[in-house]
Amino acid sequence: MLPSYVAGVGVWSPILPSWQACRSRLVGEPFTETQSKVPPAEWLPPIERRRATLSTRVVLSVTKDALTQAGWDPARLPTVFASSSGSPDITNELCAALAAGDTQISPTRFHNSVHNAAAGYYSIAVACRAPSTTLCAHDGSAAAGLLEANVLLATEESSALFVAFDVPYTGPLADIRPIADPFGVALALAPEPAPGQIARLAVERSSRQGLPLSTCRDPGLELVREHIPSARLLPLLEALALREPAQIVLSMAGGGQLTVEVTPC
Task: List, for residues 142-196, the tens digit of each pLDDT value.
Answer: 999 999 999 999 999 899 999 999 999 999 989 999 998 999 999 999 999 999 9
Grouping H, G, I as helix, E, B as strand and the rest as coil, residue 59 is helix
Phi/psi of residue 24, nearest 5 degrees: -60, -45
* In a domain? residue 258: no
d(CA 222, CA 96): 34
Total domains, the chain: 1
Do 252 and 136 meet the contact criterion of CB atoms below 8 Å apart? no
Q: Is residue 178 part of a domain?
A: yes
**pLDDT value for 48:** 74
The pLDDT of residue 35 is 67
Q: What is the pLDDT of residue 36?
A: 73
In a domain, 217, yes or no: no
Q: Look at residue 250 and tell me if it is in a domain.
A: no
Sheet architecture: strand order including 132-135: 132-135, 79-82, 160-166, 183-190, 2-12, 199-206, 257-264, 246-251
Residues 225 and 228: their CA atoms lie apart, in Å, by 6
Residue 264 lies in a domain: no
DSSP 89-140: HHHHHHHHHHHTT-----HHHHHHHSTTHHHHHHHHHHT--S-EEEE-BTBT
Which range marks the domain in which residue 152 is found?
2-195
Q: Which pLDDT belongs to residue 44?
A: 78
Question: Does some domain include residue 116?
Answer: yes
Q: Are the beta carbons of 17 and 36 closer than 8 angstroms?
A: yes
- pLDDT tens for 50-103 read 778 899 999 999 999 999 999 999 999 999 999 998 888 888 888 888 888 877
Let me know if residue 202 belongs to a domain: no
**CATH number of the CATH domain containing 23:** 3.40.47.10
CB 264 within 8 A of CB 199: yes
pTM: 0.94
- Residue 231 belongs to some domain of the structure: no
